[in-house]
Chain A
Amino acid sequence: MLIQIKNLTKTYSDGVVETRVLKGLALNIDRGEFVAIMGRSGAGKSTFLYQMSLLDHPTSGEVIINGKNTETMNQKERAHFRLNTLGYVFQDYALLPELTAIENVGLPLLMQGHTRLHADKVAKDALERVGLGHRLNNLPSQLSGGEQQRVSISRAIAHNPEIIFADEPTANLDSESSKRVIDIFKDIHKNGQTIIMVTHEEEYGRMTERTIRLADGVIIEDKKN
């Protein structure tokens, strides 16, 4: 078992009103699974992803990855864990505007201690894998939305993480680009990569192996596709 979620809750408070977004979620995800987390807007699916992916701290409960309780990690250990174990694809691509495509993809590798030469080689391979071998030295502002999202995917996979978290990766893309992104995920998954993707689009959810459906902060469905 790669991920264990135990009684996960998340409550936001503005000092007056408390909003319980996640209400005691529990589930397990095995290595190599391609999971879609679905639900209507406000169901808590992105919040769930953020807790699982160590971008946020749950109010209570445990996120155990590879047998390690991530809530016991300090800030530095979490950063190290995110760097070496996790990859992220964000809805708005989240590329660094002053870095070219190859630099964006190679950055986590540099942080892992690889040489620039090695980082560039791996980043180039990753970009070629998503069909962007001709856009290596373009800045994000010089790329279309679909291309930027493919750079983001390349960055997520280049350092060979154990889990890729994708938050609405197709939300800002046209249907053709969306299809291409999903095809890339499927291709990556074929090689044994664990992918956890938040989406509200049924069509793309069906393309995964497993769908977890949330409503009002609880899991209402967990099924194999």
Chain B
Amino acid sequence: MNLTSFKVAFFLAYRQVKRSNIWTTILIVFVMMLTFLNLVVISGILVGLIQGSEEAFRTRYAGDVIISKLIEKPFIERTTDITNALDTMPEVKEYTTRYLQGGSVEANYKNSIRKDNEIKVAAGGQFAGINPEKEDRLFGLSGYVIEGQYLSNDDYDVIMLGANLLYKYTPIDSPSFRPLRDVEPGSKVRVTLGTTTREMIVKGIIKTKSGELDQRVYINAGQLRQMIGRDDFNVNEIAVVVNKDVQPEVVRDKLLAEGFGEHAKIQKWSEAIPQFLDQIKTTFALLGNLIGSIGIIVASITIFIVIFVNIVTRRKFIGILKGIGITPETIEISYVFQSIFYAVVGSAFGMGIVFFILKPFIAAHPIDFPFSDGILVATLGGTLIRALVLLIATILAGYIPARIIVRKNTLDAILGR
């Protein structure tokens, strides 16, 4: 095999593709494109399902750095020192503090003589005392209100419920988790926080698809402090958003360097993600690759059949090529070049669709999974690797039938025997 063989092979392949039936070419390229999309999109959506959840965790709940109480402490000690430190850091864009307190919400309590099978109480609900305007500014929470209205800083005796606390959105009925029934914006509920019980009005229902947020009851921080008799400013959670182009670990490390790690758990957002999400992500990636591998096998067989049929119908011309002195290797390479053409063009169209249509579209209109806004995860590097895998599979699928036919007797090929 020499350079001349490659040149002639390219010459033959180019002419054959250029002057072949346009619809046949379109069909083959279309098959390649679908195969490529199968490879990239299926695994991309599966991974994106979890990544969407992680994104929600960061952009709606944790920010870039999340500071939480130590497990053995009831709150973050020296909160004021931490917030003062954050105030002086140029890397920090803004932060918000949250008080967390266990409590309960009871619906329909006025007309209730509870029967055993009538579930009205959201047991173990966690109340979050927040600054509504700040939360909204940092995390856009008002955009996730699905019923009623978002809290304002002036609200009093008003709460906002996470959707997971309502049976309507979480139709689960188990002894360990009893969501509220018949609750909607405007409903009066009985709220118990510590030793204080008050009647409050449900102002809105929020659904962020971030588990931490959707299981909380929101109330203005001031009223929560009042109800639980808190007279210091030690909070349970501080979510910090850093400036653009600042790595979260910069802020985390600065806080740790100042010794706040002894009083609070300081993590960048990715460290705080629940471990099961990472495990699911790995599993889904594996599943995606498995499905993709099946796609590769199907694509290889498809290309094999397409090239084989193409070669069988052109057997006479292959015989002629051999007859006039074109080497078998040259003819085989010409079919490999054709396979490369189909794979490259199919992948190129596929990449175009992924990066210019699907990815932006799904980013703008995430897939509405119950627990996540699914996005399409497709990195350029990962996509190129899949294109390369498809290319190699296609080359093999093109080469093998070419070799089978080209090695047949020259005269039999010419005479069609």
Contacts and interface: CB of A to CB of B under 8 A. Distances in A.
Interface of A: 50, 55-56, 75-76, 79-84, 86, 88, 90, 94-99, 103, 107-108, 110-113, 116, 139, 155
Contacts of B8: 107, 110-111
Given A97-B317, A98-B18, 18 more contacts: A56-B409, A56-B410, A76-B327, A79-B322, A79-B327, A83-B326, A94-B323, A96-B321, A98-B16, A98-B19, A98-B20, A99-B15, A110-B4, A110-B11, A111-B325, A111-B327, A112-B4, A139-B19
A65 to B, nearest CB: 14
Given A55-B414, A107-B8, A111-B4, A96 B322 contact: no
Contacts of A94: 316, 320, 323, 414
A156 B12 CA distance: 19
B409 A79 contact: no
Nearest to B16: A98
B7 A98 contact: no
Interface of B: 4, 7-8, 11, 15-16, 18-20, 316-317, 320-328, 330, 409-411, 414
A80 B325 contact: yes
B324 A155 contact: yes
Given A96-B321, A107-B8, A90 B414 contact: yes
Contact of B326 (A75, A79, A90, A113): A79
Given A56-B410, A98-B20, A84 B320 contact: no
A55 B326 contact: no
Nearest to A94: B320
A55 B410 contact: yes
B323 A55 contact: yes
A107 B324 contact: yes
Contacts of A103: 15
B328 A75 contact: yes
B41 to A, nearest CB: 35
A21 B279 CA distance: 73
A38 B73 CA distance: 109
Contacts of B330: 111
Contacts of A86: 325
A195 B331 CA distance: 28
B411 A96 contact: no
B6 to A, nearest CB: 11
Contacts of B325: 79-84, 86, 108, 111
Nearest to A156: B324
Contacts of A84: 325
21 contacts: A50-B411, A55-B323, A55-B410, A75-B328, A76-B328, A79-B322, A79-B326, A80-B327, A88-B324, A94-B320, A94-B414, A95-B320, A98-B19, A107-B8, A107-B324, A108-B326, A110-B4, A110-B8, A111-B326, A111-B330, A139-B19
Nearest to B3: A113
A165 to B, nearest CB: 10
A55 B411 contact: yes
Contacts of A113: 4
Given A55-B414, A94-B414, A107 B326 contact: yes
Nearest to A46: B415
A113 B19 CA distance: 24
Given A55-B411, A75-B328, A96 B4 contact: no
A94 B325 CA distance: 13
Contacts of B323: 55, 82, 88, 94
Nearest to A141: B19
B166 to A, nearest CB: 68
Contact of B328 (A50, A79, A83, A110): A79
A94 B328 CA distance: 18
Contacts of B20: 98
A96 B317 CA distance: 6
A116 B322 CA distance: 20
Nearest to B327: A79
Nearest to B318: A96
Nearest to A47: B411
Contacts of A83: 324-326
A82 B317 CA distance: 16
Pairs A-B, 7 closest by C-beta atoms: A83-B325, A98-B19, A82-B325, A56-B411, A94-B320, A55-B411, A113-B4
A97 B18 CA distance: 12
Nearest to A106: B11
A149 B13 CA distance: 24
Contacts of A81: 325
Contacts of B322: 79
A95 B319 CA distance: 11
Nearest to A50: B411
Nearest to A80: B325
Contacts of B414: 55, 90, 94
A97 B330 CA distance: 18
A56 B15 CA distance: 28
B165 to A, nearest CB: 69
A130 B7 CA distance: 28
Nearest to A53: B323
Contacts of A112: 4
Contacts of A56: 409-411
